[in-house]
Amino acid sequence: MKTNLLLKYFLWSMLLFALSVGFMSFGALRSLELRSLDLAAVARSRWQSRAPENAEMPAAPLPIWGFISDEAYLQGARRIVHHLKNIGAAVVVVPLPEDLLTIPSNLSLLDAINSDSIAVFSSGIRTRSRFSIRTPLMFEERRARWARQPTFHRLEIPWGVSSVLTDSYGVLYRIAPNAYKDFDTGEQVPDVALQAIKRYVGYPDSLEIRTSHSFVSFGAYTIPLERDGLAYVKGLSFPRYRGGVYATALPETDSLSYFPMAWSGTPREKNLDAAWEYYKGKIVILDWSGLSQLSYANYSWTYAQIISAILGGNYVKRYNDYDLLIIILIVVLLSVLSYNLRGLLTLGISFLLGLGVLVLSIWLYDQYSVLFDPLYVLVPIVLCGIILPVVKLTEEKRMAEELAASHEEEKKRLEELVRNLSTRL
C-alpha cells in the first residue's frame, strides 16, 4: 500500500515539476511578470520618500497643468526654453504630442524652440484623446519598435523616443535605450534620455550609440540590457526636489501662468525669479499633463530618475538565472513534507513559503535594487501545496476503502468457515 502511495507521489511530483518548468520556459504567465514589485507600491514609496535626501539630481521637472491647444503649448514651450537658456539651463526636454499636426504655424514654433540650441524633442507621448494605450506586450515586441520623426523630416530637429514603460505607481522603469527605428529612414532612434545626456555632457548629437545584445554604450556611458533587450531603472513615485516652477494653463486665454513651487516639504520660494534660478545648469523636463496617459503629470519625474540613473550608472539587475534549481528544490521539499504531514499543515507551510519568497523579493528590490521576480517560483509552491495533499487524501481514502473491503471479505470467509465447521459437527 505504502509503495503505491510513494509511486503516485513520485509521478505527481514529476508532473508538477514539468508543468512549472513549462510555464517558465514558454512564458505562459508573461502578462503577470514583475507585477509583485507593485504590491503596496504607494506605501513603500512614501516610506522611501521620508528617507534622507540624496545629492541634488541633475534633472528637474517643470510641470504644466491643465489643457490647452497644441499651438498654445508650443508657444509656451518656446517662451520657457528661451527663458531657461537665459538663466543657464543646460538642456530642455520638450515632449510633443504623438498626433501633432505639421502645419506651418507649428513648424515655425518648433523651429523657434530649436533655435535656442538647448532643446531636445521627445516623440511618442500619447494624448488623452487616444483610447488605445501601449500595453507591456506591445512594448516588448521588438518588431513593433518603430517611431516617426515629429515633423516627418520637414524640419530637422534633435529628437528621441519616449520608450519608458511603467505603471501609474510603478517602482520599476523599463526603457529601450536604442531599440527603435525611424519609420521613414530605418535609422536607429535613441531614447530621449540619451539625447539629453549627450548635450548635457557636451557630446555632439551625432555621436554614435553602439548597441549589442547585452549593452548600449555612448561616450563614457554604458547601459546594461537584460534578456528582453531593455534597461531597468528603480523608480520612486514621490519626488525629492527642493524648488522650481510650475505652470497652469488658462483656458480662457489659452496661455500659461507661472508659480514657484517646492518639493519634499521644503518652504515655498515666494520669489518667482529666484524659483527659476533652480534650473541653472540642469536638464529641465517639460511635463504637460495633457500629454499623459494618466490624468496628471508624471513624465518628468520618471525621466529625471532615468537620466540620473544613467549618469550615475545605477541600474536594476535582474536575477532569475537559478529559477530552475529553486523549482527543483521546492518540488522535492514540498513532496517530502506532504508525504509525511497532514494536508492542512502542508497547505499552511506552502502559504508561508510563498509569502516568504514574495517578501524576500520585495526586500531585495527595495534595499539592494536586486530584481528577483518570484512568479515562476510561486507556481510550484501553489501547485504542490494544493494538489499533493489532495493526491495523498485521495490515495489514503482509496487504501482505506480497499482495507475495509479486504476486512469484509475476510470476515465473510471466516463466517463461511464457521458455518462449514458447524455443519460437519
Q: For a pLDDT cut of 70, what percent of the chain falls above it? A: 84
How does strand 283-288 pair with strand 59-65? parallel
**Backbone angles phi and psi of 408, in degrees to 5:** -65, -40
Q: What would the mean pLDDT of 74-102 be, rounded to a whole number?
A: 92
Total Cβ atoms within 10 A of residue 340: 10
Q: What pLDDT score was predicted for residue 121?
A: 95
Q: What pLDDT score was predicted for residue 2?
A: 55
Q: What pLDDT score was predicted for residue 78?
A: 95
Q: What pLDDT score was predicted for residue 40?
A: 67
Name the DSSP class of 190: -
Q: What pLDDT score was predicted for residue 39?
A: 78
Dihedral (CA of 394, 400, 403, 409) sign: negative
Q: Which of 252, 301, 247 has its CA nearest to residue 69?
A: 252
Q: What pLDDT score was predicted for residue 127?
A: 37
pTM score: 0.83
How confident is the model over 106-141, as pLDDT tens digits?
Answer: 999 999 999 999 999 998 644 333 333 444 544 566
pLDDT bucket at 3, cuts 50 / 70 / 90: low
Helices (H), 182-292: 192-201, 272-276
**Backbone angles phi and psi of 242, in degrees to 5:** -110, 0
Q: Are 70 and 127 contacting, i.e. CB atoms less than 8 angstroms apart?
A: no
**Residue 48 pLDDT greater than 70, yes or no:** no
Q: What would the mean pLDDT of 163-167 be, rounded to a whole number?
A: 78
The ranges assigned to domains in the chain are: 2-32+321-418, 41-317
User: Nine-digit cell at 122?
Assistant: 521627445
Q: For a pLDDT cut of 90, what percent of the chain falls above it? A: 41
Looking up cell 504623438, which residue turns up?
98
Looking up cell 503516485, which residue turns up?
8
pLDDT bucket at 18, cuts 50 / 70 / 90: very high
The residues pairing with 62 across neighbouring beta strands, listed in sequence order, are: 286
**Residue 379 pLDDT greater than 60, yes or no:** yes
Q: Are 319 and 96 contacting, i.e. CB atoms less than 8 angstroms apart?
A: no
User: Nine-digit cell at 334?
Assistant: 514540498
How many angstroms separate the CA atoms of 100 and 106, rounded? 8
Helices (H), 121-191: 136-140
Q: What would the mean pLDDT of 227-237 be, rounded to a whole number?
A: 85
Point out the least confidently predicted range of 13-17, 316-320, 412-416. 412-416
How many angstroms separate the CA atoms of 27 and 45, rounded? 29
How confident is the model over 235-278, as pLDDT tens digits?
Answer: 876 666 677 898 988 877 778 888 887 655 555 556 888 889 99
